[in-house]
Amino acid sequence: MSGIEEVRYYRYGLSVVHPPRRVAAQSERDRARALGGEDVSFASQGATLRGTFFAPRNGVVLVMAHGLGENRFRWLDDVSILERHGYGAFIYDARAHGESGGDTATWGDLEQRDVRAAIDFAEPRAEKIVAAGFSVGASAVYLEAAGDERVRAIVIEALWTSIDDEMQAKAGTRGFFSHFPVMLAMKRDGHLDFSRVRPIDHAREIGARPKLFVTGSEDSDTPVPIMQRMVDATPDPKRLWIVPRATHGSYAKTAPAEYERTLIEFLDRAL
């Protein structure tokens, strides 16, 4: 492989720890406010994170972590569903995303501590806590839930087994020669500890808490067999819902009625 190709892969590694910030549209802010959202901030591991809190009517709050390159308002369809059924939500911008501080995304390494800080914020305002995560946010949620008994149930969308597996699949087209420069950039510039971003190593620690796994049949980013590996490793009770025709993160838009029914039935039974 040429030096030019090595540089290209190294730059790819830099790009995934410094994702572009997605600025919220005014219409998203207006929608959040109409749903009763209160903008707040909280501290976590050297960064100030910005979030929006939606008070529950039934005492249950879902702490929700978004994916790479998104912001907290990607959850507004879910928040709307939850509000209709009395559930609260706490959505927040991950570090290095949206309005939050920090300039490096660590793919679940520091983000699991951010989930903990979000739970710390929501706990005095809730009787029960559920954690939900999508993609990189799913890694953070799964890792934190493994050691945090305050999390009564989890909703996991598009979760990889480990950051090593994910980068080998996405950047290992030339084997070691493409995978190594990507991981080197992520380690050097993102200061990632890859050993701390291995959800599959913590599967048994989730224990007997209820778990809903969601993926799409057409998800090329996190293929169904990857999710199946995570589900197989995780103790009961659990459910894997493969949304027909859904791509990465399009579950609620692809099957809105079934998504609402599945989510609320899971929460009602779990709690």
Whether residue 174 is predicted with pLDDT greater than 90 in this model: the reply is: no
Which superfamily does 3-270 belong to?
Answer: Alpha/Beta hydrolase fold, catalytic domain (3.40.50.1820)
Annotate 149-187 with DSSP letters as a single string: TTEEEEEEES--S-HHHHHHHHH-TTTHHHHHHHHHHHH
Q: What are the residue ranges spanned by the domains of the chain? A: 3-270
| Residue-wise pLDDT tens digits, 217-255 | 999 999 999 999 999 999 999 999 999 999 999 999 999
Q: Which residues pair with 110 in a beta bridge?
A: none
Place of tokens 């493994």: 146
**Which amino acid, 162?**
S
How large is the average pLDDT for residues 18-36? 96
Nearby residues of 21 by Cβ (< 8 Å), 6 or more positions away: 71, 96, 97, 98
| Residue-wise pLDDT tens digits, 34-72 | 999 999 999 998 899 999 999 999 999 999 999 999 999
pTM for this model (two decimals): 0.95
